[in-house]
C-alpha cells in the first residue's frame, strides 16, 4: 500500500514537472512575439529565426554538455536513466533545459535589428553550453565558485532564477550591445536619442501575455513537487504571487508613464508586466499577496526609469528593454527576497548577484569580442538600412504589406 | 469646367461626401495622403524618446465640375470640412484649377456631358 502511494507521488510529481516545463517552453513563443512586435517590420523574420534557432541550440548544447557541467548528468546525458528518487531524472533535464533557452532568449531582443544571425548563433552555442551552466552549478547545484566559496552558505537564494536566468541573460545582452553599438539612426550627433517605434503592438502584447502564462510554469514548477498537501499549497501560493506581481508591475508602470510623459505608452505597460514577473521570480514562495504586488510594482517603476536612463544617459540601445527588464529588475528581485524570507541575507544576495554578473558579463564580453574579430558581429550599414530580413534570411515577414 | 482639389481631415470625409452629393456632384475621387501646411508636424514620445511626425494623414478629394457648380462645391466643402464653428489650423485647403478636357472612356463623350 505504502509503495503504491509512493509510486503515485512519483508519477504526479513527474507529471507536474513535465507540464510546467512545457509551459516554460511556451515562453519561447512569448519572447518571439514580443520581439517581433518591438522591431521594425523589415527585421521581423530575422528575429523570429534567431528565436527558433537559439531555442534549438540551447536544447542541444545543454544536452551535449551543459547539463553535465551544471548537475553532472553526463556528456550527452549518458548519466541519465529513466529513474529518479522523487521524479524522473529525464523530467528534471526537460525542466532545466527550457530555462537555458529562456536565458538565451533575453539576449536576442537587445541585439535586434543589427547583429549577424550566425554570430548570434555562435554566441548561443557557448552561452548555453558553458557560460550559463557554470553559474547554474554554483547556484542551484550548490557547487563552490572556482572552489572558493559556496553561495548557499552565505545566505544566497534565488528560487526560480531572477538572477541565475534573467540577470544572467541581461548581462550577456549588455556585453553584446556594448560591443555591437546602437542601431543606425538611434542617436543624433548631439547625443539626443530618437525613438524607433516597433512595428506590431498586437504581437508585442500577445507575447507579453504568453510570457505571463509561461511564468506560472517557470515559478510554479520551481517548487519541484506537487504530490503532497504541503507542496500543493506552496505551488498555489507561488501561482498567486507570480500573478499578483505581474499585475503590480503593469499598474505601477502605467501610472508612472502617464505622470512622466502624459500618455499611456503600451510598450512600457508590457515591460511593467514582465518586470513584475522578473522581480518576484527570486522569491515567489514567501511574500503575502500584497507584498508580491508591491515587489512587482517596484519592478514596474524601476523598469521605466531604467529603460529611459540606459537609452538617454548611457546610450545603450536595447530595442525591447531586455537589459532593464531582466537585468536591473532581476537584481531588484534578488534583493527583495530577504524582505520576506528570514533565511536569506542581503549580503548573500549581493555576493550572489555580483558573482553571476561578473562571470556572465566578463565571459560574454570576451566571447563577443572574439566573435567580432573572427567573423564580425554586425551587418553592413547598407544591410541594416535594407533590413536584415532580406539580407540575412532572404525573405520578408510581410511581403504583401510593404509592397 | 473646373477641377476642385481639396485637402481635408480624414474624419470629415463622410460629411463632405454627403454635402457634395446633396448639391448634385456626381463623382469624387478620394486619396489618402500625407502632408503638412501651417499646422506643421508634431512630436510624440515612444518609451521616453521623442519622435517627430512631419507628415500628417489627410484625404485628398478631386472633383471635376462644370463652371457653374464650382462656387457651390467650394462652399459645401468649406462649410463641412471645418472643425468646430471657427475652424482650426490643419483643416485643409481647396485648390480650383481650370480643366481643359474630360472624356468618358465607355462612350467617348467629351466636354461637360462627360462629367
What is this model's ipTM?
0.76
Distance between CA atoms of residues B110 and A35, nearest Å = 57
Pick among 3.40.710.10, 3.40.630.30, 3.40.50.620, 1.10.3430.10: CATH of A2-393? 1.10.3430.10
Residue A178 contacts by C-beta under 8 Å, 6 or more apart in sequence?
A316, A365
Residues A138, B56: Cα–Cα separation, whole Å: 56
Is the CB of B54 inside 8 Å of chain A's CB atoms? no
pLDDT digits (tens, 9 = 90+) for B27-85: 999 999 999 988 787 888 899 888 888 899 999 999 999 999 999 999 999 999 998 88
Calculate mean pLDDT across residues B86-93: 91
pLDDT of res. B38: 84
3-state secondary structure of A199: coil
Pairing mode, if any, of strands B2-8 and B92-98?
A: antiparallel
Residues contacting A392, CB < 8 A, separation 6+: A46, A49, A116, A117, A379, A383
Report the gap between the CA of B54 and the closest CA in chain A (Å): 14
Confirm or reject contact between A345 and chain B (CB < 8 A).
no
Where are the domains positioned within chain A? Answer: 2-393
Give me the residue from A197, A267, A307 closest to B51, CB to CB: A197
* Cβ distance of B45 and A311 shorter than 8 Å: no
Rounded (5°) CA angle A163-A169-A174: 110
pLDDT of residue B39: 76
Q: Does B106 touch chain A (CB under 8 A)?
A: no
- Taking the Cβ of residue A304 and every Cβ of chain B, the question of whether any pair is shorter than 8 Å is answered with yes
Residues of B in contact with A265 (CB under 8 A): 45-48
Q: Does B50 touch chain A (CB under 8 A)?
A: yes
Compute the distance between CA of residue A236 and CA of residue A291 in angstroms, rounded to an integer: 16
Residue A154 contacts residue A351 (beta carbons within 8 Å): yes
Say yes or no for a CB contact (<8 Å) between B48 and A308.
yes
Quickly state the pLDDT bin for B20 (edges 50, 70, 90).
very high
Question: What distance in Å separates the CA atoms of residue A316 and residue A301, rounded to the nearest whole number?
Answer: 19
Taking CB atoms and an 8 Å limit, are A321 and B51 in contact across chains? no
Say how far apart CA A362 and CA B38 lie, in whole Å. Answer: 54
Give B46's contacts in chain A (Cβ within 8 Å). Answer: 195-197, 265, 267
Instruction: Tell me the nearest-neighbour CA distance from B44 into chain A, angstroms.
Output: 9
Average pLDDT by stretches of 10, chain A with 403 residues:
86 95 97 97 96 97 94 83 80 94 96 97 98 96 93 94 97 98 94 93 98 97 93 97 98 97 96 98 97 98 97 95 97 97 95 97 98 96 94 90 56
> How far apart are alpha carbons A111 and A327 in whole angstroms?
15
pLDDT of residue A282: 97
Confidence label for B4 from pLDDT (cuts 50, 70 and 90): very high
Q: Which three cell numbers stand for residue A337?
A: 527576497
Q: How many CB pairs under 8 A join A and B?
A: 42
Residue A402 has what pLDDT? Answer: 52
Reduced to 3 states (helix: H, G, I; strand: E, B; else coil), residue B53 is: strand
Within A113-228, residue ranges assigned H as helices are 117-126, 132-139, 168-180, 201-220
Instruction: Return the closest-CA partner of residue A257 out of A247, A271, A243, A244.
Output: A271
Buried b (16+ CB within 10 A) or exposed e, B77-100: bbebbbeeeeeeeebbebebeebe
**Minimum distance, in Å, between the CA of residue A263 and any CA atom of chain B:** 8
Quick one: CA dihedral A221, A346, A167, A34, positive or negative? positive
Q: Which of B44, B45, B47 sits opposite A307 (nearest CB)?
A: B47
| Structural domains for chain B | 2-114 (3.30.70.120)
Contacts of A262 in chain B (CB under 8 A): 45
> Which secondary-structure segment (H or E) carries A128?
none
**How far, in whole angstroms, is CA B78 from its chain's centroid?**
10
Cβ contacts of A255-263, under 8 Å, gap ≥ 24:
A256/A300, A256/A301, A256/A304, A257/A304, A257/B48, A260/A304, A260/B48, A261/B45, A261/B48, A262/B45, A263/B44, A263/B45
Q: Do A265 and B47 touch (CB under 8 A)?
A: yes
CB contact under 8 A, B46 and A195: yes
Phi/psi of residue B6, nearest 5 degrees: -120, 135
Amino acid at each position: 500500500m505504502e509503495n503504491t502511494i509512493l509510486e503515485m507521488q512519483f508519477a504526479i510529481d513527474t507529471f507536474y514537472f513535465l507540464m510546467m516545463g512545457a509551459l516554460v517552453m511556451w515562453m519561447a513563443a512569448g519572447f518571439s512575439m514580443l520581439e517581433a512586435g518591438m522591431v521594425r517590420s523589415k527585421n521581423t523574420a530575422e528575429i523570429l529565426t534567431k528565436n527558433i534557432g537559439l531555442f534549438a541550440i540551447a536544447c542541444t548544447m545543454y544536452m551535449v554538455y551543459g547539463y553535465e557541467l551544471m548537475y553532472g548528468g553526463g556528456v550527452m546525458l549518458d548519466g541519465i536513466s529513466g529513474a529518479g528518487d522523487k521524479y524522473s531524472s529525464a523530467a528534471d533535464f526537460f525542466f532545466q533545459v527550457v530555462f537555458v533557452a529562456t536565458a538565451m532568449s533575453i539576449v536576442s531582443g537587445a541585439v535586434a535589428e543589427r547583429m549577424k544571425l550566425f554570430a548570434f548563433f555562435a554566441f548561443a552555442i557557448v552561452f548555453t553550453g558553458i557560460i550559463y551552466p557554470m553559474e547554474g552549478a554554483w547556484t542551484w547545484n550548490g557547487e563552490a565558485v572556482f572552489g572558493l566559496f559556496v553561495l548557499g552558505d552565505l545566505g544566497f537564494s534565488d528560487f526560480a532564477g531572477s538572477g541565475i536566468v534573467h540577470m544572467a541573460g541581461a548581462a550577456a545582452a549588455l556585453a553584446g550591445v556594448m560591443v555591437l553599438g546602437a542601431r543606425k539612426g538611434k542617436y543624433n550627433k548631439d547625443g539626443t536619442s530618437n525613438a524607433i517605434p516597433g512595428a506590431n503592438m498586437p504581437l508585442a502584447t500577445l507575447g507579453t501575455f504568453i510570457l505571463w502564462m509561461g511564468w506560472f510554469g517557470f515559478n510554479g514548477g520551481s517548487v519541484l513537487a506537487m504530490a503532497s498537501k504541503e507542496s500543493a499549497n506552496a505551488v498555489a501560493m507561488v501561482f498567486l504571487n507570480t500573478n499578483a506581481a505581474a499585475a503590480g508591475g503593469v499598474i505601477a508602470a502605467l501610472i508612472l508613464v502617464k505622470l512622466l510623459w502624459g500618455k499611456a505608452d503600451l510598450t512600457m505597460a508590457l515591460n511593467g508586466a514582465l518586470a513584475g514577473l522578473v522581480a518576484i521570480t527570486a522569491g515567489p514562495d514567501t511574500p503575502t499577496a500584497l507584498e508580491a504586488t508591491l515587489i512587482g510594482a517596484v519592478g514596474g517603476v524601476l523598469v521605466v526609469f531604467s529603460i529611459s536612463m540606459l537609452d538617454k544617459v548611457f546610450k545603450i540601445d536595447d530595442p525591447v528593454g531586455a537589459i532593464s527588464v531582466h537585468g536591473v529588475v532581476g537584481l531588484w528581485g534578488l534583493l527583495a527576497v530577504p524582505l520576506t524570507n528570514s533565511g536569506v541575507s542581503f549580503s548573500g544576495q549581493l555576493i550572489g548577484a555580483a558573482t553571476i554578473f561578473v562571470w556572465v558579463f566578463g565571459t560574454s564580453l570576451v566571447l563577443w569580442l572574439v566573435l567580432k574579430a573572427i567573423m564580425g558581429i554586425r551587418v553592413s550599414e547598407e544591410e541594416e538600412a535594407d533590413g536584415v530580413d532580406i539580407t540575412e534570411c532572404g525573405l520578408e515577414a510581410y511581403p504583401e504589406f510593404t509592397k | 469646367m473646373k477641377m476642385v482639389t481639396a485637402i481635408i481631415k480624414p474624419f470629415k470625409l463622410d460629411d463632405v461626401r454627403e454635402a457634395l452629393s446633396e448639391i448634385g456632384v456626381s463623382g469624387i475621387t478620394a486619396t489618402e495622403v500625407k502632408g503638412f501646411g501651417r499646422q506643421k508636424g508634431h512630436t510624440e514620445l515612444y518609451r521616453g524618446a521623442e519622435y517627430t511626425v512631419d507628415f500628417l494623414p489627410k484625404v485628398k478629394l478631386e472633383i471635376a465640375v462644370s463652371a457653374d457648380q464650382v462656387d457651390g462645391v467650394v462652399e459645401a466643402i468649406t462649410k463641412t470640412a471645418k472643425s468646430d464653428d471657427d475652424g482650426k489650423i490643419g483643416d485643409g485647403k481647396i485648390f480650383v484649377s481650370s480643366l481643359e478636357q474630360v472624356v468618358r472612356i465607355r462612350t467617348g463623350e467629351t466636354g461637360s456631358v462627360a462629367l
